[in-house]
Structure 1
Amino acid sequence: MSNTFKIIVLAGAYVSFILGAGTATGQEIMQFFVSFGYLGIGAIIIAAVLHMWFGAYAMDVGVRLKAEDSKDVFVYFCGKYLGLFFYWFSQLFILVVFIVMISGAGATISEHFDLGDVIGRAFMAILVLITALLRLNTIIKILGIAGPIIVVFSVIVGAGSFDPAGFSKSGEIINGINLSTATSNWWQAGFVYSSFVLLVALPFLANLGKGEIKRKDVIIGGSVGGLIMLVGVFAIYIGILSNIEQLHTKDIPTLFLADQISPALGLFFSIILLVAIYTTAVGMLWTVSTQFSKGNSHKYRIITIVLTIIGFFGGLFPFAKIIDFVYPIVGYIGLILIAGMLYRQFINKGKIGIKTLETLGLNKNIN
């Protein structure tokens, strides 16, 4: 596999993992960025810089640490006790996000195909379960290919829905409607959005890096993945903001935008949304199952099936409500993890070697 293709696959896998139901449907973007009007652009820029940084850095540490357990990665960044807290907290939140994906699938299928959310949740849960039982290499290839496709169609729907007249009036309209906001200030939104993404992405990114040899590939792949992700976010942002008066009550605002452009595009984009949900849900399920199975394939299958059942029944909760309540809280907690990573990279820059790992209680010798 050439270096260029490897970088594309890594970037695509990163994008697919985090560009799931909340982002591709527009719910996260509406609450974190659109709710602040034009200032949301500043929040997106902050988030873009952070996504590019931690995408590259987390995969690079994965290459060098070669941790068998993502617990080691959290301990490396935050120390033994705080690292253990973040490890367990991230596993719990990843499971919550998995439930959000299943709920999002139900909402998408119910809103566009009118088949009911139970059928949508069951369909997605079964598909994700089958995929998660496959090998990691297969999962990474699926994620790597799907990521760029999801972004392209998100840009088409978002940019294609841009209305200069609606955009110019959006600030006034937002002041007159009851729109949920994830944080109290626009600049906080960029940090909080990135920190909750980091909490779920860190184990996956470290695992991606662990399987690679060349640090340059993962650093570029992580940076490109973070940038591509936020290009898609910005396109959806301007599309929603231009049409906020019609969209502020919608569970799936991007699907409404696609329908407005063309019914055919709406149908196709509903499938793209399901692909986005599917790729993220697969990554979430695989990450948690891998951590708790500890390499035991029988245990992995049992845990995967149990978590899928939990995700199906947990998906009964309303999609938008889960995002509104859970994501901002987790985002604020995740800021501590960002601080730990910044400290480790820019202040305590020690190489990952015997002394560093023994101090942290890890037993690996990395060059």
Structure 2
Amino acid sequence: MSHLSKIIILAGAFVSFILGAGTATGQEIMQFFVPFGYIGTGAIVIAAILHMWFGAYTMDVGSRLQATDAKDVFNYFCGKYLGFFFYWFAQLFMLVVFVVMISGAGATVSEHFGTGDILGRIIMAAAVLITALARLNTIIKILGIAGPIIILFAVIVGIGNFDSEGIRHSNELISELQLLQATNSWWQSGFIYSSFVLLIAVPFLANLGKNETNRRTVIFAGIVGGFIMLLGVFAIYTGILSHIDDVQDKGIPTLFLADQISSILALCFSIILLIAIYTTAVGMLWTVSLQFSGGNPTIYKIITIALTIIGFFGGALPFATIIDLVYPIVGYIGLILMACMLYRQFINKGSLGKEGI
């Protein structure tokens, strides 16, 4: 496989992870960037730069460290004790993301099919539980293709709803609307949005890098991935700004925007979104259950069932409310991890083995 092909594949996997179901719904973008109007673009740029940095750096560390356990990666960045904290905190946050996915499934089914959120939560919780208990690796890998597809659809939805007149009036409308807002300033949103993603991205990115020995490949893949993320988020952001008065009370803003283009597109997008939510939820539930079960199959099943029940009832909380309450708090904690990574990269690099590029 050529050097360029490897970069594209790694960058695609990176983008699929960070621009998955949560961002593609538009709800995170509604809370982190849209409330600041035009200046929200600055927050997106900050987030993109940070994603480019930690994507390249974490994959590079994964390539050189060759760690078999995510604990080793967190320990390298933060030391033994703080690394231990972040490792387990990341597991708990994955459980929160699992709850968010169940809530998102309920909101998606309710908004598009008009059946109420309970049906969506039941179907999603049951599908995820069955998959996690059966450990169907092949199915998860096949459905993983939903990541790139949902990115493409989200960009189409965002660009397809671009309206220069709507954007011109968006700043005036935003000041009158009671939008949920993740932080008090646009620059904080750029940092917080990036840092809460970082917490669960570190193990994933380090594992990506572990399978590639060429440092140039992983570094460029991280940079390309962060740049594509900028384009994807910006497309959705402009689409929402163009119709802010219509989408400001929607749980899944991008689903509404898709319907403005075509009812067929909206149906396709809702199905793809549910598949993306499903694959994300399975991954989070599986990972947390394995960590807490210690490899014991019986305990794994008990924990998986218990966490699914928690996810179902926790998902009864409004999708937007969960994001508003939890993600900013996690983001502020994630800033500590980000600071540790900056210290490790630029002040105290330590030794990771292969240092030449």
TM-score calculated relative to the size of structure 2 = 0.90
**Contact kept in structure 1, 2:157 and 2:258, CA below 8 Å:** yes
Corresponding residue SS for 1:251: coil
> What one-letter code is carried by the residue in structure 1 that aligns with 2:169?
K
- Aligned twin of 1:90: 90
After superposition, give the CA deviation of every residue in 1:29-51 in whole Å (9 maximum; x if it has no partner).
01100000000000000000111
Structure 1 residue 61 and structure 2 residue 37: aligned?
no
Q: Which moved more, 1:304-313 or 1:174-183?
A: 304-313
- Aligned twin of 2:115: 115
Q: CA deviation at 1:304?
A: 3.7
- Aligned twin of 1:256: 256
TM-score calculated relative to the size of structure 1 = 0.88
Listed as ranges, the gaps of 5+ residues in structure 1 are 354-367
> What one-letter code is carried by the residue in structure 1 that aligns with 2:260?
Q
After superposition, give the CA deviation of every residue in 1:244-295 in whole Å (9 maximum; x if it has no partner).
1111111111111111111111111111221332232233223323433455
Corresponding residue SS for 2:351: coil
Distance 1:9 1:139, change over 3 A: farther
Distance in 1, Cα, partners of 2:56 & 2:279: 20
- Aligned twin of 2:288: 288
After superposition, give the CA deviation of every residue in 1:99-118 in whole Å (9 maximum; x if it has no partner).
10111011101110123322
Structure 1 residue 235 and structure 2 residue 235: aligned?
yes
Distance in 1, Cα, partners of 2:138 & 2:216: 20
> What one-letter code is carried by the residue in structure 2 that aligns with 1:89?
F
**Aligned-residue CA RMSD (Å):** 2.4
Listed as ranges, the gaps of 5+ residues in structure 2 are none
After superposition, give the CA deviation of every residue in 1:163-186 in whole Å (9 maximum; x if it has no partner).
110100111111111112111110
Q: CA deviation at 1:79?
A: 1.4
**Correspondence list, 1:24-39, <5 A:** 24-39=24-39
Q: CA deviation at 1:235?
A: 0.5
- Aligned twin of 2:70: 70
- Aligned twin of 2:269: 269
**Contact kept in structure 1, 2:59 and 2:206, CA below 8 Å:** yes
**Contact kept in structure 2, 1:21 and 1:105, CA below 8 Å:** no
Q: CA deviation at 1:156?
A: 0.6
**Correspondence list, 1:1-367, <5 A:** 3-132=3-132, 133-134=134-135, 139=140, 142-143=143-144, 145-294=145-294, 300-352=300-352
Corresponding residue SS for 2:184: coil
Q: Which moved more, 1:225-234 or 1:192-201?
A: 225-234
**Contact kept in structure 2, 1:16 and 1:279, CA below 8 Å:** no
Distance 1:352 1:135, change over 3 A: farther
Q: CA deviation at 1:11?
A: 2.8
Distance 1:92 1:134, change over 3 A: same
Q: Equivalent pairs: percent with the same residue?
A: 71
Distance 1:303 1:68, change over 3 A: farther
Q: CA deviation at 1:299?
A: 5.2
Q: CA deviation at 1:220?
A: 3.1
Q: How many residues align?
A: 353
Distance in 2, Cα, partners of 1:164 & 1:319: 29
Corresponding residue SS for 1:179: coil
Distance in 2, Cα, partners of 1:230 & 1:214: 25
Distance in 2, Cα, partners of 1:251 & 1:184: 21
After superposition, give the CA deviation of every residue in 1:284-333 in whole Å (9 maximum; x if it has no partner).
22332343345556655554444333322221111110001111111111
Distance in 1, Cα, partners of 2:345 & 2:141: 27
> What one-letter code is carried by the residue in structure 2 that aligns with 1:147?
G
Distance 1:296 1:219, change over 3 A: farther
Q: Which moved more, 1:114-123 or 1:216-225?
A: 216-225
Corresponding residue SS for 1:352: coil
**Contact kept in structure 2, 1:21 and 1:100, CA below 8 Å:** no
Distance in 2, Cα, partners of 1:12 & 1:338: 23
